[in-house]
Every structure is written in C-alpha cells, then in structure tokens.
Copies of this chain bind each other. A is one copy, B any other.
Amino acid sequence: MAAPRTARERARAELTRDIKDVALRQIAGSGAAGLSLRGISRELGMVSSAIYRYFPSRDDLLTAMLIDFYSELADALWAAQDTIAAEATRTSAGFRRRWVTVCTAMRDWALAHPHQFTLLYGTPVPGYRAPVDTTVPAERVMTAFSGIVDEAARAGLFTSVRALPDGESGLVGQLTAAGSLLGEQIPPEVLARTVAGLAQVIGMITLELGGHFVGGFEPADALFEHAATRLAETIER
C-alpha cells in the first residue's frame, strides 16, 4: 500500500475504504449472504456497475472482509492475552488461566460479531474458495492459541505426557511438520490436543450461535468456561 500521491489515487483509496465500511455494516447486519454490491452502491449514491472498478467481483470483496475479520479476531485474542502477560506462564495455573482467557475472548468476540465469526468458521460461501491471502491472518488466530502452549512447553510443563505411538498413519509426521510452523517446542502429542481443543472451542461457539443450545444450555457461559477449563487440563497431561 503505497501512499496515495495523486488526487485520483487518494479518491480511489477513500472510496475503497467506504465500500468496505458499508460492506462491513451489511455483513454485521444481515450476514455475508446479505452482502449485495447493488445495495452498497445504492448506499454510496453510485451506480452498481461502478463498484466493479474497485472490486472485480462480490467474492473479491468477501475476501477483503475475510482478511479484516481474521485480523480483528486475532487482535482481540492477543489483546486478551496481554492483559495477563505480566504474569509468567511458567506455572500450570498460569498456563490454564491464560488458555481459558483466550478461549473466552474468542467466544466474546464471536457473540459480539456473530456474522463475522460464521463467515470465518461457518459454511463456506457457495462457489467461493478462500484464496491464500487469507491464510496468513487465519494463522495468527491459530498461533494465539498455540503460542500459549508453546510457551508452556518451553517452561517444561509437559514432561509427563505419554508419547504418541508413531504408527503408519503419519500423524506424528503431520504434527511435527505443523508444529515447526507454530513453535518448535510443542511436542506432537500436545499439539494434537491443542488443535482438538481449538476445534472444541469453535464447535461450541458454532453450536451456540446456530441456536443448537436453546432450550438446553442457554446461556452457555458456565458450560463454556467449564469446558475451556477442562480443555486446559486435558492439554497439559
């Protein structure tokens, strides 16, 4: 993103921002499926075809939003961690507290931005396939979790972990390969639990947002916190 020099470039950058702003409001209001280029252009007082000068297709606009949302979520998770970063994560209690904090931060963000969350982790939009540009911010979300585990591993918290049997499944290979991207110190068996744990967090939020808890576990605050706490224990031993 070079600084806009000419008036044309400045106008273009501004309009691009405006389009994304309106798109954000549309998604926050009625979901990604309600995102309409015609609606945006109407709100911006321009003709629908003009939008295509800025985003060649609806999916490109969606991709831009996707990147924004991943980044926003990742920021929220890292910010939540920082509130207790002063406390070292060298102890078991510290690790657990930090893990639960990040899990809760994810749920809070999801409840505050349900449509954004479902766009990230819900049903992929029909013909849409997320381009590689989105994987970088998406990984920042993942590392918000794995970072905690990595730090705890460096502190030597996972000594009594039963080693994974390295069968012909290639699981250990997958895990060590993935682990080298996230932090060398995470033992494969611990990384497996971390991924499963993240899946559980996303699953519970998805179920809650999808209304699968109504009439049973609504509000799900207590259930969620309980599950996150147990998750931390599970990861650890």
Size bin of chain A's contact surface: 35 or more
A67 contact set on B, CB distance < 8 A: none
Is the CB–CB distance between B126 and A31 below 8 Å? yes
Is the CB–CB distance between A121 and B207 below 8 Å? yes
**In the complex, A122 has a CB within 8 A of chain B:** yes
Contact partner, A202, options B203, B231, B234, Cβ 8 Å: B203
Shortest distance from the beta carbon of A109 to any chain B beta carbon, whole Å: 16
Known: A169-B221, A169-B222, A174-B222. A118 touches B126 (CB 8 A): no
**In the complex, A217 has a CB within 8 A of chain B:** yes
Of the 9-residue stretches A84-92, A150-158, A189-197, which lies at the interface with chain B? Answer: A189-197
**In the complex, A17 has a CB within 8 A of chain B:** no
16 additional A-B residue pairs with CB within 8 Å, beyond A199-B206, A200-B200, A203-B203: A33-B125, A34-B126, A121-B206, A124-B209, A138-B212, A171-B223, A174-B223, A175-B223, A177-B216, A193-B230, A196-B200, A196-B204, A196-B227, A196-B230, A199-B207, A199-B227
